[in-house]
Amino acid sequence: MERREFLGTVGMIGGTGLAGCTGASDTDDMDSPPESSPAGESSDSPSESDTESTDDENEENCEMTEQSNQEVLIDRSYELSANGPSTVNDFTVAEEDTIAFDIQTTNQQEIDLTIESPLGGSEFEGTVADFSNEVGFSTSGDGRILINNAGTATNEHRSQLWADSDTLSAGEFYSGWVTLEEGTTVDYFIRQLGDGARPKLVIENESRNVVQEEPVAAVIDDEFTAPETGEYYFQWENTAILTSGSWRWEFESISEEVIPAMVTVHVERKFVETVEVCE
């Protein structure tokens, strides 16, 4: 009885020893690194195919394309008087450029306009009140715009030369010299007052050659236009031998004043350039 109980206890101890052996084997395995799941099996790490897809999405799609552009070269306004020097506006073009010209005047005045190309030839030449056009240039360089007041629009300007009344004895006269520009007109009026001698008018140039003459009359009402620029001599006289005469006279010079041209010049350069466009 006692023998059996002892063996039973030993059996238990032996069983326990076997269990301890098994535990020692587990401890040896812990020296090896723990197994981990393959990278492809983790839900937190991107796969190789996901990385390639992201790179494709971030890559820019670029291409070369032609783009139309424009640039303002000249934008100015000014007053252009008569008989002044040409007003010059310079502009620069590149090959295959198109230049848009817009030139306007006010006061219904016209201008003499010349547009020179970089090669020196005239792209346009004429008398205009306004000019709007686009010109294509096949070469690069500097061009010019030359503008003059054409003088086609004028205002009449009157200036008094002599005005008076007097009684002139027989053989007496009044006279005066005046400088006239070619085309300037002198408007004159001489009238007899009451009875007596009647007036006569003679007009001479600076060489004292008679250029116009009015015979004796109670009323002299006419005009003289200078054929050229110079000095002119006017003499109104009493040609009677004995009789005096009382007269009233007025002399006015009439000239046409050229209206200044108010000019606006707007010039744009239109060109095409190749640019890279990325999406």
Hey, what amino acid is at 115? I
Give the E-state strand segments of 151-244 in sequence order.
Answer: 154-168, 173-180, 185-192, 199-205, 210-214, 219-225, 230-238
Q: Which of 45-49, 125-129, 172-176, 242-246 is the least confident region?
A: 45-49
pLDDT bucket at 243, cuts 50 / 70 / 90:
very high
Torsion of CA 57, 60, 66, 69, to 10 degrees: 110
Residue 61 has pLDDT above 60, yes or no: yes
Tell me, yes or no, whether 19 lies in a domain: no
- Structural domain includes residue 172: yes
Nearest one of 186, 205, 192 to 239, comparing CA atoms: 192
CATH number of domain containing 166: 2.60.120.380
Average pLDDT over residues 180-184: 92
Neighbours of 243 (CB within 10 A): 12
Q: How far is Cα 14 from Cα 18, in angstroms, rounded to an integer?
A: 6
Residue 57 lies in a domain: no
pTM passes above 0.85 = no
Average pLDDT, the chain: 83
Percent of the chain residues past pLDDT 70, beyond the cut: 79
Q: Mean pLDDT check: name the lowest of 8-12, 37-41, 47-51, 103-107.
A: 8-12
- The token pair that represents 110 in the structure block: 């016209």
Q: Is the pLDDT of residue 251 over 50?
A: yes
Query: Does 272 fall in a domain?
Result: yes
Shared domain for 220 and 138, answered yes or no, is no
| Burial of 236 per CB tally in 10 Å (0-12, 13-18, 19+) | buried
CA distance 30 to 32: 5
Residues 223 and 99 in one domain: no
The total number of structural domains that make up the chain:
2
The position carrying tokens 């000249």 is 74
Tell me which residue range forms the domain holding 182.
Answer: 156-257
The confidence score (pLDDT) of residue 166 equals 97
Q: Output the pLDDT for position 19.
A: 39
- Whether 32 has a pLDDT exceeding 70, the answer reads no
| Same domain, residue pair 171 and 146 | no
The predicted structure's pLDDT at residue 4:
43
Query: Mean pLDDT, to the nearest integer, of 40-48?
Result: 52
In a domain, 95, yes or no: yes
Mean pLDDT of 78-96: 89
* pLDDT of amino acid 165: 97
At residue 230 the predicted structure's pLDDT band, cuts being 50, 70 and 90, is very high
- Among 239, 269, 37, 275, smallest CA distance to 134 is for 269
Q: State whether 166 and 96 are in the same domain.
A: no
| DSSP 8-state class, residue 106 | S
Check: CB of residue 260 under 8 Å from CB of residue 82: yes
- Asked, for residue 42, whether it belongs to a domain, the answer is no
- Decide: 149 and 260 in contact? Cβ < 8 Å: yes
pLDDT confidence bin for 7, thresholds 50/70/90: very low
- 142 and 269 together in one domain: yes
**At 47, is the pLDDT very low, low, confident or very high (cuts 50, 70, 90)?**
low
User: Could you give the residue ranges of the DSSP H alpha helices within 59-155?
Assistant: none
205 within some domain: yes
My answer on whether 107 and 174 are in the same domain is no
Please give the backbone phi and psi of residue 80, each rounded to the nearest 5 degrees, phi first. Answer: -115, 110
The span from the CA of 54 to the CA of 90, in Å, is: 55
**What pLDDT sits at residue 98?**
92
Residue 53 domain-assigned? no
Which residue would you say has higher pLDDT here, 235 or 95?
A: 235
